[in-house]
Every structure is written in structure tokens, then in C-alpha cells.
Amino acid sequence: MERNTFSYKLRQILMFAGPGTILFFCVVIVPFIYGLYLTFTSWDGVSANKPFVGFANYAAAFSDSAYWIALGRTAIYSIFAVVFINILAFALAYLVTSGVKGQNFFRAGFFVPNLIGGIVLGYVWKFVFNRAYVAIASAITGAPATSPLATTGGAMFCLIFVSVWQYAGYMMLIYVAGFMSVSDSLKEAAMIDGCTPSQAMRNVTIPLMRSSFVQCIFLSITRCFVVYDVNLSLTKGEPFNTSVMAAMHVYNTAFTYKNYGMGQAEALILFIVCAIVGVTQVMIGKKGEVEA
Amino acid sequence: MTQNEKAAAAKKRSHAIMIIVLILLFILFIIPFIMVIINVFKVKTDIVSNPLSLVGEHGFTLQNFPNAMAKMNFFVVFKNSLIITILSTILTILVSAMASFVIVRNGKWKFCSGIFALMVASMVIPFQVLMVPLVSVYGGIFSVLNHRITLILMHTGFSVSMATFMFHGAIHTNIPLELEEAALIDGCTRWQTFWKVVFPLLKPTVATVAIIDAMAFWNDYLLPSLVLTSKELYTIPIATQAFYGTYSSDIGLIMAALLLAMLPILILYLFLQKYIVAGVTAGAVKG
Amino acid sequence: MKKSTMKKLLVAMLSFAMIFAMAACGGGGSDSGDAASSADGGFTIFNSKMEIQDQFEALAKQYTEETGVPVEVYYSQDTVSAHLATKYASKDPYTLNMVDAKDIYSLAKEYGVDMSDQDWVADTDYAISVDGKVLGFPSSIEARGIIYNAEGIKKITGKDFDPASITTLDGFKALLDELVKGGMEAPVAIMKEDWSLGAHYLQQVYEEREDPEAFVQSLYKGEVDLMKDEKFNSLMDTFDVLKAYNKDKASPIAAERDLSEQGLAEGTVAFMFGGNWDFAEMKKYDYIGGAGMMPVPQNLQDDYTGKLVGGGSKFFYIDGSENTSAEKQQMAKDFLNWLVTSDAGKTFISDTCGMVSPFKSNDVACSDDLGKAVKTFADAGNLVPNYDYDPDDHYSVLGAEMQKYLADQCTREELATAIQNYWKSVTPVEH
């Protein structure tokens, strides 16, 4: 057999990875490179002329303090959101795979938040924070309460809360698949060997689910860093532009303030920061992965 | 009390606590959804004045559904969404499962690991960044916009990285190399080995990716709105855009459209759940 | 097992066929891009006013029936500038585009078709010309001021409300006190949206003076001391009064526009700063009638007392880029003429959509109560013109400062300093 020759392997790779890779390159990489070129122009987004300006957009991006503040804010938001999303998602996955009655029903329920996005999400949660919360808090304290959406820290809290609510069900899916891939016989063997259920969980299930953890943490980091929809529908950056996240700032710079090249440059910086964080996490996670 | 009875009692207690925790969490997760259901049967003025009342001052109305359906040309756009979602999801799963297989098994090749790293990194690019360059290339230069097939291939191209990432993890940890080797020795080609041995074992991940991607495609607004410009190709999210205004929006219609649109995904989800559960048997092979 | 594998293989084959189809299609670079467009042989319109989308589509249908020219009307939930950017990037712009005034100075300046030779130009005072070319066709007149609900006020005071009787801030405050005494605890609503506070309220500081351009230029140069500016202080004094009677005083930044407009429509709120576009929303509630508009009452009496601020709004420009053929441009011109001269067009603007027509020859009565009020002011020449040349981030940055002031997070001095610093930090807008 000629399985180890170079041309055989190359054919294999082209046959299996070819279609996916070609599509990926056409749709993601080609526009990305063109976008990269646009960062060196002072294009406004619609005009036919795209004057070349060299690194001026990067210089402008680096001195745009509002952008760096937004980026720092996004980092803080992401840390909290990622931690809580994953804790909750893991707990949910554990609960709905433990064999309780009606677990399919629960799974569907926890998944539903994923289907409520955009303006409905903003509408419902604004009601909860602005009116329901205020009414309850005023009744308890006896003094008129302020809506959390109207305060700087409160708006951040609301963004984190709603993100956790939305993504926990999504990540739960991946954790459920992870739980399911750890066979019951392995767990039972561990129990027979004298492990308590929690020990079995710590020593058998969790190590075997490492790839689920890597995936979920990576996905939640990347989702949080480029958060836009929740930001737009829930706070629109208010109050006083103190809840503008990086992606929203980028969008505004590029389109609302018609500074496309600079917006694109800021997006590229966001991408690099986010890629470094995400890829590092994956590398660390993959290192200790248990191989089948 | 014997040891066994005690253990049984403790188990029962922990089971009860678990159920209570589950129900509490369930309520928290479902409240907004219930609010949508309550309000979809009300007129706008009642929704605004009291979103919690079961029936508004203007009474119970079913009008939001036919209104939304007529305004969005429901059956046509539903069909469009269905075609695009199904084809994009199948295509994504096939090409990414195949790609991840060869990437995992040739992990030492710089080319493979390079592509994988590129895909992982690309997942962090915000879509808004690619939006204008994308239409410049495929609309401005190649003029292939406004075809369903373009949207399907673009959907696939954008989601192939995440799906590959997920299949990569699954193949890496859950598919024993020995199985493949056995198949190869039995005279299978790589191609046959993949479809007969590896792919069936990936069922739980296929189901997970199918749900995640189908949901993303079904609800996506931005990409379809860029690609599909003629109204007879519109998908559900584009067809409902006229409900959203800068200065006002028709919240009742939006909620009705949301409920009409989310049913297929919920059904798909419940259906695919079976395959995720079926993963138990698949995983047992290696045990 | 075998069978299902075969099935999967089949699906895989099909998918590859699709990829090749795409490659062939893309490589060919055929003009199939707009083949499926239903406006073939006709032209396209971009509408950026969501509340008239249904009516506009009906009008397009009527136009096609009358003239045989196919028209498609589009709307997008994305930001107008972002949406048009993608349309130009894909070389598929709309023939006729409805945009805001300041987009005419950027977008239409580059792409717009000169409409100077059109008959309607003489019929309006609100068209936008750039470098001697008429580029913007005004679709309506919109104006800002205080919206009131006379019915709601009458319920409390027992007297008919005459907006003309309120000429000063003191008079306004006396009425507010009377309303509070009568049981309307908080007669005022303030929108917290940055565009309302920044681009609509604060904007009046630049607009209500002899030479707004000169004032803005001196703001750029950092020569203005707002704390010593009569107009700024006068408007902020009024704003303080509005704040004091705000129904959302406890957390003004959580105010919801829906609720404020509902209150205004149902008469539980007497006053709100806004514009005639708010009526499209107000009428969706249990509107009790009596809505109207009056100038923002100020103690400073000058040439602008008794006037609303506003003018032409939502302008159409015709795309003149290489992507739009001369025939399509002509079709768009014909449509605009039809909109001005035909009975159907006049009725559409004034009655169906309830907008205030900027054309003198349009004698169809405006169907919206706020529109009627604006029309009265416009006909009497009592509109202070808009100033359209703010930097693009003005509404957002200074809207946020105004929000701080609204929430008592900064003093008037701090607000004034923030405004001055903002203007000093931005590059002047060329126009």
C-alpha cells in the first residue's frame, strides 16, 4: 500500500478537508484580507474613492480613549459572563442528565432563551429591570428604587445577567453531549472501586469531558468579546455611554460616525486581543486532553 | 434502619433537592418566554401599560398572528427559511466532519494544524467587520448575490470553523484509533472508514452541531439581508424587519412572528435530543 | 447500516455538486446578480421611515397600476448608513433613497442626480441644494417643540387650554403647579434617548440665534463660554423645570418612550419635548384627542419666541452612480413629480401618512394632530431652520452628557465645559 506517501496524504487531505477549507477561505479569509486593506484607507463606507492613508487609522485607534475604555469594559464583562455561563451550563447539564423525571422537558425549557433575541429580549428584560424590579424593591425598602439599567454598575450587571441567561442553555447543550459521551460503565466501574458519586465525577467524568470544557469556554469567551446584539437591545450603551462594548464602539465608528477605515482598524485590534485570549485558552486546554 | 435503607433515603432526599433546584431554575429561564406568550394575545397599548396582565383592557385578541403572517408573507418566507436552513446545516455538518477527521488524524502536518488554528482564530472575527468587504467581493466583483445557493454556501463557510472545532474535540477524545485501524485492515478505504465507522459514532456531536447551526441560520438576519435582495427570496428574519423602527416598533407583531418562527427549531431540538441521548450506546463501544 | 451510509454518501455528492455550481456561477461572473429582482424594468425605492412602509408599498402598487412602471419599496432594520454602505459595496444601490438631511450633504453630494430642472423645485422652500445643484427632495416637514395634550390638561384644570397663553417659562411653571395641585402628580415626560437630548434639545442652543454657523465656528475655535450664553442658560432653565416635574424623576435614565407616549396620548401626562413624528406612536394607544405642539417656553424673549424648530425632513435623492441607468433615474424623477402633482401623491403624504407636505400646491389636509399644529406654524413662517452640519458623533457624545445632566450627575457648569471641550476636540465638518 502507498498510504504513507506524500501524494496519498495530500489527496486524502484535499478530499476530506478541501470543500470546507475552500468555502472558509472564500467567505472568511478573502473578505478579511480586503478588510485589512481598507484599514489603510480613510474610506467613509460609501464613497467611491478610498484614499490611502497608511497607518493613520491605527494611530487614531490607539489614541481613541473611548475605544480602549470600551475594550477594558468588555474584558471585565467577559470574565464575569464566561465564569457564570459555564458554571451554570455545567450544573444544568448535570441536572438534566442525572435521570430526573421530565428531563427532556427541562432541556427544552433551558434552551428556549436562545430563541428569544433582538428587540423582544430587550423589551422583556427592560420590563423586568425597569418596572418589575423597581416595584418590588420600592415595596420592600419603602423608598423609590432606581432601575439597575439607569446606573453605571447596574447596566453592566444587567448585561452580564442577561448574557448568562441566554448562553447557559446553549453551552448546556455541549456539556450534555459531553456527559453523554462518558459511558455509564466507566462511572459504574469507578463506583464499584469505592468512589463516591462526587469522586467519580471529579476523577472520571470531568477529565473525560475536558474537550467539552475547552469548547464551551472558548465559545463563551469569543461570544462575549464580540457581544453586540444583547448590548444593542438591552442598553444601547446607556446610561451616559458607559455600557458601550467594544463591538458596538466599532460599529458606531465605522457606520454611524462614517469612519469606516478607523472602525475596521479598531475591529482588527479587537480581533487580535480576542484571538490571543481564545487561542491561548484552547492550547492550554488541549494539552491535557485525554485521548481515546 | 439498615445501611441500604439509609442510602436509599439519602438518595431520595438528594433527588428531591435536585428537582426543586431544577424547577426554580426552570422558572427563571422560562419567565421571559411566558411573558411573550401572555402578551402576544394583547394589543400594543395593553402590552405597554401592563405586560403582566393576562388579558388587557381591550380584551383577548388573536389578531397579532394573522397580521404578522400577512405582513411578512409567512408561507413563502417560511419555505425559504426552511430550504436555506436545512441545506446549510447538512452541508456544514458534512464538510466540517470530514475536515476535522483529516485534521485530527494528520495533526502532525503543519498544513492541517495551520488550517485548524486559522479556523479557531477566525471564530472571533465580529461579522460586522466582514460585512462590507464580503459584499464588495461577491456583489461588487462577482455579482453572485441574490441567489439562495450563495447564501447557503456563505452560511456554510462562516460556520465551518466552529463545527470543525466541535467535531475536532469529539473525534480527538471519543473515536478510538483502533476501530479505524481495524476497518482499514479489513480492506476499507479511508473514505469508507470515515462514513461507516467514524461518522456514525459522531451522532451526539452531529446532533449538537445541527441544533446550534440550524438555530443560527434560522434566526440570522444580517447575512441574509445582505445576500438576498429580492422579496420572493426573503427569510423570516428579513421579512419581519419592517416591524422594527428606529422610533417605534410593533412589539405585538414581533412577538407573534417570534412564536411562529421558533416552533420548528423547538421541534428539531426535541427530535435531535434523542440522538444526543443515543450517544450513550455509541460511547460504549470503546468501553 | 449500508443503506443509511449510501444515503449519506448521496447527500455528500449532492453537496459537492452544489459547490461546483457555485464555483461555475461565480467564475462566470454573469450578470445573474439581479436576475431575480422583481423590479426588473422598473426602479427601487429605499424607505427609512418604518411607520409608513405598508402605506408606501400600497402606493407603489397603485403607481405601477397607473403608469405601468414597476416599483419596489424596501426597508431595513439596520442603520441607514450601514445598509446603504453595503448596497453601494455590492454595486446594487437603490434608485431612490430616503435619508436624513445630513446624508444629503455626504451621500447625495457624491452620488445624487441634479434635480434643478424639475418642476417641483419652485413649489417648495425645503429642498436641499449642494454647490448649486438641487439634490434632496423633501418628503415632509418635521418640527420639534413641546407636545401637549389639551384634553388631559382640561380634565385637571377644568378650562380649555390655550397654548398661546404660555409664552414664558414662569407662565409654564404656574400651569405645571396648577396641574400638580389638581392631582396630576408629574405632568411632564422627558425622553432619555441620546438623539432626543443631544440632537433635538441641545441642538436648539445652536439653532435659535442669528447666525448658527458663526456660533458653531466659534465653538470649534473654543471661543464660546456657554455659561455666559443667554440662549444656553435660557434653554437649560426650561430643562430644569421639565426635570422637576418629570414623571420618571426617580430614575430618569430608565424612562421608556412607549410609556411616555402612551401617557401623553391618554392624557395622564400633559407635556413632553418631542416632534410631530411622535404622533405615529401616540395614535396606537387610547388617544383621547387634544394633542398639539407649542414652542419650548423660555423666559428669554427674542426673535425665536413663539416658534418651533424644524424644516424639511426625510429627503429623497436619486442615485446617479454608474450602477443606475439613465432610464431608471428618469423613472425616479417621474415618480417624484407624480408624488407632488397627482392627487394620489398628495393624499398619500398628507392624509394616508399624516405627514406635513413641504409643497405649497398640496392642499390636502394633514390627518395627524401634531402635523396639523406644525403646519400652522410652518404656514405662518414660524419655524426656526434646522442646523444640519453637526459632526456624526455629536448626538451620541453630547447626548450622553445631557443624560448625566438629566440624572443630576453633573452641574450646568460641567455640562457647559463638556460641550465646549467636545467641540474643541473634533475636526470641523466641511460643507
pLDDT band of C21, cuts 50, 70, 90: very low
Residue pLDDT, tens place only, C144-157: 999 999 999 998 88
Q: Helical H runs in chain B?
A: 3-39, 44-49, 64-72, 74-105, 110-122, 127-135, 148-174, 177-185, 190-193, 199-201, 203-219, 222-227, 236-239, 251-284
What's the pLDDT at A76? 93
What's the pLDDT at A3? 59
Q: Kindly list the residues of chain A whose beta carbon comes within 8 Å of any beta carbon in chain C.
A: 19, 22-23, 44-48, 126, 129-130, 134, 144-147, 149-150, 237-241, 251-252, 254-260
Domain that holds residue B76: 71-284
> Percent of chain C, pLDDT > 70?
91
Measured in degrees and rounded to the nearest 5, phi and psi for residue C271 equal -135, 145
What's the pLDDT at A87? 93
> Which residue among B143, B200, B242 places its CB closest to the CB of C33?
B143
Contact A126 C16 (CB under 8 A): no
* Cβ–Cβ under 8 Å, residues C308 and C203: no
pLDDT of residue B275 exceeding 80: no
Residue pLDDT, tens place only, B112-132: 888 888 888 888 888 878 888
Question: Residue B133: CB partners within 8 Å, gap ≥ 6?
Answer: A30, A31, A32, A34, A35, A38, C89
Half-sphere exposure of B189 (CA within 13 A, CB side): 9
Region C24-34: mean pLDDT is 39
* Domain residue extents for chain C: 42-141+311-378
| Inter-chain CB pairs, B–C, below 8 Å | 131
| Inter-chain CB pairs, A–B, below 8 Å | 268
Q: Is residue B180 part of a domain?
A: yes
B237: left (phi over 0), alpha (psi -120 to 50) or beta: alpha
Contact C252 A22 (CB under 8 A): no
pLDDT of residue C5 exceeding 70: no
Which of B155-159, B196-200, C282-286 has the least mean pLDDT? B196-200
Domains of chain A: 66-287 (1.10.3720.10)
Q: Cα Rg for chain B, rounded, in angstroms?
A: 24
Chain B positions in Cβ-Cβ contact with residue A173 (cut-off 8 Å): 208, 211-212, 276
Q: Is residue B52 part of a domain?
A: no
pLDDT of residue C24 exceeding 60: no
Q: Is C146 helix (H, G, I), strand (E, B) or coil?
A: strand
Element (H, E) at C141: strand C133-149
What's the pLDDT at A118? 67
Mean pLDDT, chain B, integer: 82
Question: Residue B50: CB partners within 8 Å, gap ≥ 6?
Answer: B56
How many residues are recorded in chain C? 431
Antiparallel, parallel or unpaired: β C291-294 and C133-149? antiparallel
pLDDT band of A111, cuts 50, 70, 90: confident
The Cα of B285 is separated from the nearest Cα of chain C by a number of Å equal to 16
Q: Is residue B56 part of a domain?
A: no
Q: Is residue B44 part of a domain?
A: no
Question: Residue C23: CB partners within 8 Å, gap ≥ 6?
Answer: none
What is the torsional sign of CA C303, C308, C312, C313?
Answer: positive
pLDDT band of C1, cuts 50, 70, 90: very low
Element (H, E) at C260: helix C257-266
What's the pLDDT at C35? 37
Q: Kindly list the residues of chain C whose beta carbon comes within 8 Å of any beta carbon in chain A.
A: 15-16, 19, 79, 81-82, 84-85, 88, 106-107, 110-111, 192, 194, 250-254, 256, 321, 391-393, 396-397, 400-401, 403-404, 407, 409
pLDDT band of B4, cuts 50, 70, 90: confident
Structurally, chain B folds into a number of domains equal to: 2
* Cβ–Cβ under 8 Å, residues B247 and C52: no
Q: Which chains touch A (3 or more CB pairs under 8 A)?
A: B, C
Query: How far apart (Å, rounded) are the C-alpha atoms in residues C97 and C153?
Result: 41
Mutation to test the A interface, candidates B33, B44, B125, most A Cβ within 10 Å: B125
Chain B residue at shortest CA distance from A265: B129
Could you tell me if B243 and B135 lie in one domain?
A: yes
Residue pLDDT, tens place only, A55-106: 888 988 888 888 999 999 999 999 999 999 999 999 888 888 877 777 778 8
Q: Is residue B190 part of a domain?
A: yes
Residue pLDDT, tens place only, B40-69: 888 888 887 777 777 777 778 888 888 888
Task: Tell me the CATH class for C42-141+311-378.
Answer: alpha beta
What's the pLDDT at C18? 54
Contact C110 A47 (CB under 8 A): yes
Question: Residue A68: CB partners within 8 Å, gap ≥ 6?
Answer: none
pLDDT of residue C419 exceeding 90: yes
Which of A5-19, A143-157, B94-108, C197-211 has the least mean pLDDT? A5-19
> Which residue among A239, A254, A259 places its CB closest to the CB of C403?
A239
By the CB < 8 Å criterion, does B196 face chain C? yes
Element (H, E) at C174: helix C169-181
Residue pLDDT, tens place only, C339-389: 999 999 999 999 999 899 999 898 898 889 999 999 999 999 999 999 989
Contact C75 B241 (CB under 8 A): yes
- The answer to whether the predicted template modeling score (pTM) of the entire model surpasses 0.90 is no
pLDDT of residue B279 exceeding 70: no
Contact C50 B244 (CB under 8 A): yes
Residue pLDDT, tens place only, C251-266: 888 888 888 999 999 9
Distance (Å) of CA C277 to CA B40, C282, C363: 26, 9, 20
Of these ranges, A163-177, B139-153, C59-73, C74-88, the one predicted with the greatest mean pLDDT is: C59-73
End-to-end CA distance of chain C: 72
Region C51-61: mean pLDDT is 89
Is this complex scored with an ipTM above 0.85? no
pLDDT of residue C25 exceeding 50: no
